Amino acid sequence: MPYPEMMIAPMREDLRRIGFQELRTAPEVDSALAEERRTTLLVVNSMCGCAAGAARPAIGMSLQHQHKPEVLLTVFAGQDLDATERAREYIVGYPPSSPSIALFRGGELVWMLERHQVQGRFPEQISAELRHAYDEYCST
């Protein structure tokens, strides 16, 4: 059962305040991703400690980089169930994971960071991985 919105709102705001568009329904996900060809970062947000203490801060730090995705999108696992399920349909070849960070280019998934790659790491380490992916996929 989803947590009350008052508990989740600050966790949603962490990404919205740095420019992410929050997708809360399956049609919103399709509208945002189905035909998108620009570089797109999709964050499957969650209320776990590794999202709050590592993933969300790392994402914010990474976006201070010279190269970065053109489109920033997020869904909230455990809250917006239909949106999250639909978003995961675009993350081909990876099991459901939250938090997780997917990078798309030309409509194709080109890079992925799963929960097990977030847990136990510092935001600086995760941010460095994100910046490396941005350099590879967002620099042209």
Query: Which helix (H) or strand (E) segment is 43 a member of?
Result: strand 40-45
Q: Which of 41, 50, 87, 101 is catalytic?
A: 50
Q: What are the helix (H) ranges across 25-77?
A: 26-33, 49-50, 56-62
Whether 48 is catalytic is yes
CA dihedral (11, 37, 89, 81) in degrees, to 10, reads 30
Whether 138 is catalytic is no
Q: Which of 48, 54, 102, 133 is catalytic?
A: 48
Question: Which active-site residues does the annotation give?
Answer: 48, 50
